[in-house]
């Protein structure tokens, strides 16, 4: 059975992992006959957003603890991720990628990635193991794979421009498809960068996961 490591960034689209993307990906992994285990950094969130009104809530939450809600406790600190135990990597989107796993939401193309997350992702890249990044998560790719990595965030011009500025090669992609950088065994799909509902997000995610498991 293929084993997939999944890196989460909290729980909730505006300050953590996009929950629909995460659940769709975990379901697709299981439906392809593989297993998953989740990881997240053991750090405080950048901030907490009230998902009813979009306002900042003045409280402190931990990314690993919040991510455990999605994983139903099947989760570990990303610093403990041993790539020898896994065949592939998957990173769902959500603003937590750009606020907790990195500071892309604050600094754009000048962003930095959390060191533990960066080391884990780079380990998969260096071992030539396949990896998949959904939605806004591909903004991590240029710092992980270096210049020339091909990926998509859909068609948002500002995010695509920042991706290219960081050294990546952005590829336009519809919500129901994915982009494969064959050389790097790297897959990306727009998901909720373009999706207007769960069903639309599911089409691209299912195709991506199916290919990810094949590559693994």
Q: Is 135 a catalytic residue?
A: yes
pLDDT digits (tens, 9 = 90+) for 138-165: 999 999 999 999 999 999 999 999 999 9
Distance in angstroms (rounded) separating the CA atoms of residues 146 and 189: 19
| CATH class of the domain whose range is 3-215 | alpha beta
pLDDT of residue 52: 96
pLDDT of residue 30: 98
pLDDT of residue 79: 98
pLDDT digits (tens, 9 = 90+) for 52-108: 999 999 999 999 999 999 999 999 999 999 999 999 999 999 999 999 999 999 999
pLDDT of residue 112: 98
Could you tell me which residues come within 8 angstroms of residue 211 by beta carbon, excluding any fewer than 6 positions away?
Answer: 178, 180, 187
pTM of the predicted model as reported, rounded to 2 decimal places: 0.98
* Section 123-131 average pLDDT: 98
Domain ranges of the chain: 3-215
pLDDT of residue 145: 98
pLDDT of residue 181: 98
Distance in angstroms (rounded) separating the CA atoms of residues 11 and 129: 27
**φ, ψ of residue 16 in degrees (nearest 5):** -155, -145
Q: Band of the pLDDT at 50, cuts 50, 70, 90?
A: very high
Q: Average model confidence (pLDDT) for the chain?
A: 98
Residue 62 bridge partners (DSSP): 44
Output the CA–CA distances (angstroms, integers) from residue 153 to 35, 96, 190, 193, in the order listed.
26, 15, 5, 6
Catalytic annotation, pick one of 38, 111, 121, 135: 135
Distance in angstroms (rounded) separating the CA atoms of residues 148 and 32: 30
Place of tokens 């500025």: 165
């Amino acid at each position: 059975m293929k084993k997939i490591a999944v890196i989460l960034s909290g729980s909730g689209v505006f300050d953590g992992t996009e929950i629909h993307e995460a659940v769709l990906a975990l379901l697709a992994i299981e439906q392809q006959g593989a297993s998953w285990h989740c990881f997240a950094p053991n750090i405080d969130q950048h901030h907490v957003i009230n998902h009813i009104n979009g306002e900042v809530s003045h409280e402190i939450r931990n990314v690993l603890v919040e991510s455990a809600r999605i994983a139903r406790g099947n989760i570990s600190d990303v610093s403990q991720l041993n790539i020898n135990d896994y065949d592939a990597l998957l990173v769902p989107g959500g603003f937590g990628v750009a606020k907790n796993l990195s500071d892309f939401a604050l600094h754009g193309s000048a962003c930095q990635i959390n060191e533990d997350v960066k080391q884990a992702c780079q380990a998969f890249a260096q071992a030539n193991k396949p990896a998949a990044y959904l939605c806004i998560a591909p903004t991590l790719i240029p710092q992980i794979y270096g210049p020339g990595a091909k990926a998509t965030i859909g068609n948002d011009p500002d995010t695509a421009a920042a991706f290219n500025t960081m050294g990546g090669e952005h590829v336009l992609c519809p919500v129901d498809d994915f982009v494969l950088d064959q050389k790097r065994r790297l897959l990306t799909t727009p998901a909720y960068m373009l999706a207007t509902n769960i069903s639309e997000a599911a089409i691209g995610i299912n195709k991506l996961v199916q290919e990810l498991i094949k590559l693994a």
